[in-house]
Amino acid sequence: MAEQKKLVEEITSMSEDFAQWYTDIVKKAELIDYASVKGCMVIKPAGYALWENIQKELDRRFKETGVENVYMPMFIPESLLQKEKDHVEGFAPEVAWVTHGGLEPLQERLCVRPTSETLFCDFYKDEIHSWRDLPKLYNQWCSVVRWEKTTRPFLRSREFLWQEGHTAHATAEDAQERTIQMLNLYAAFCEEVLAIPVVKGRKTDKEKFAGAEATYTIEALMHDGKALQSGTSHNFGNGFAKAFGIQYADKENKLQYVHQTSWGLSTRLIGGIIMVHGDDSGLKLPPRIAPVQLRVIPIQQKKEGVMEKASELTAVLKAAGIRVKLDDTDKSPGFKFADQEMRGIPLRLEIGPKDMEAGRCVLVRRDTGEKIETPLDGVEKKVSELLEQIQNDMLEAARKHLAENTRVAKTYEEFCDLINNKSGFVKAMWCGDQACEDKIKEDTTATSRCMPFEQEQITDTCICCGKPATKMVYWGKAY
């Protein structure tokens, strides 16, 4: 057990230093390494496999709604970026600029895409002519660059991987419907696959995307009570269409501007998985997204027949469609247990001489630590059931955490006390004035996370200024 202890000791305890705990997991579970370019990251096999599973499942859901994938160039000419006024103001301060191609200076500098609205608009203006061409439902999987000053693995890096959907529609109603449809798709994905419950709502104007008419968001709550914006969906109205001249002839042959949306979800969500589910033993992955769902660990593996039995069980489980790996290294069982726990593999199967004699094995749940003795006969069925159970229980645990850490404030004193001393979401009324958002941020560092779809009238007045208020807002400190 000495080795096990040692391995675990290397992680800082969550309650002691949450930020360090997070960094330790990212490194020890081998998700990421730092790169020689400051603020950029190397995504290692265990981290990338998570992203591949996210991609596979999201992409399938996108395509079911009619979305097609495309690929746009990674460079945006400066003049193109400048076409939509709010957009360029929002992004220009944080883009990377290419000024030379080969040995020659460029005539016009190019930015590395921070997001691709301008490229899609430039493309759509030549691609869309008639109502028959609509809707356009395009998405791309790519990397984007934002020259952030402070960076953290997955959460904020100068380059990150994401998908960005960009759609064009005939009417404002169609665009609004698609905006909400994709937000709901993100929310369902987070809950059903990542076991992360989210609050769905609309961003205030202060927090909306540069160039959008309205931004919608899903907000998740981390273990430390901070919020993580986990996916956003924007309705652009016809603002970009007017800036870029994207028009179509309607059924009466009259020229109309299209209405557009965009929506994105990124590798940042992997940070969410870590901070919603992880514990002091390491990462804890929901079975549906785990690259490896079960690790088989032989006990007294040098005893006759043990490795053979472990291999046989691995094959049986694999044939049943379970993502399984056998740990056949020469490390001790204690080390292997700690390693499997650190990597967040949802289940382990222990098999040794005594188990073989009794015709059984031991299954251990990563989420609860529970040990379950199971007959070898039919073990694949038991494993499937347990994976389902773990998935559901992890979602329930996260829901409970969200509910217990969402509080209501009726006075400003109560509000500041909750924000500063309790962490979590605070629900409170807001008059709609940005000055109140600014004051709250200055007083508490908290921001408005969203105006949730499920509204309540908590009081009649703004938590901050006391003027009449009809909007209930989720407030919180955020990553």
* Residue 18 beta carbon to a copy of itself: minimum distance, rounded to whole angstroms: 26
Q: Which is nearer to a copy of itself, 120 or 257 (CB)?
A: 120
Q: Which is nearer to a copy of itself, 49 or 458 (CB)?
A: 49
Angle, helices 172-192 vs 45-64, to 10°: value is: 140
Q: Which is nearer to a copy of itself, 119 or 195 (CB)?
A: 119
Strand partners, 279: 282
Binding residues (CB under 8 A) for a copy of itself: these are: 33, 35-37, 40-45, 48-49, 51-52, 68-77, 80, 93-103, 110, 112, 119, 122-123, 126-127, 138, 142-143, 145, 147, 158-159, 161
Q: Which is nearer to a copy of itself, 76 or 290 (CB)?
A: 76
* Residue 96 beta carbon to a copy of itself: minimum distance, rounded to whole angstroms: 5
* Residue 413 beta carbon to a copy of itself: minimum distance, rounded to whole angstroms: 39
What is the distance, to the nearest Å, from the Cα of residue 311 to the centroid of all Cα atoms in its chain?
35
Neighbours of 35 (CB within 10 A): 14
Q: Which is nearer to a copy of itself, 48 or 412 (CB)?
A: 48
* Residue 194 beta carbon to a copy of itself: minimum distance, rounded to whole angstroms: 20
Q: Which is nearer to a copy of itself, 73 or 245 (CB)?
A: 73
* Residue 40 beta carbon to a copy of itself: minimum distance, rounded to whole angstroms: 4
Contact at 8 Å (CB) between 109 and 99? yes
d(CA 153, CA 163): 18
22-28: long-range contacts, CB 8 A cutoff, minimum separation 24: 22/152, 22/271, 22/274, 22/275, 22/278, 23/152, 23/153, 25/274, 25/278, 25/282, 25/283, 25/342, 26/153, 26/154, 26/274, 28/282, 28/342
* Residue 265 beta carbon to a copy of itself: minimum distance, rounded to whole angstroms: 16
* Residue 431 beta carbon to a copy of itself: minimum distance, rounded to whole angstroms: 34
* Residue 395 beta carbon to a copy of itself: minimum distance, rounded to whole angstroms: 28
118 closest CA partner among 164, 82, 169: 82
* Residue 42 beta carbon to a copy of itself: minimum distance, rounded to whole angstroms: 6
**Cα dihedral angle (479, 430, 418, 217), rounded to 10 degrees?**
-30
d(CA 74, CA 97): 12
Q: Which is nearer to a copy of itself, 73 or 369 (CB)?
A: 73
Q: Which is nearer to a copy of itself, 68 or 373 (CB)?
A: 68
Q: Which is nearer to a copy of itself, 154 or 209 (CB)?
A: 154
d(CA 437, CA 101): 44
d(CA 463, CA 446): 13
46 closest CA partner among 401, 349, 464, 340: 340
- Cα distance from N-terminal residue to C-terminal residue, the chain: 37
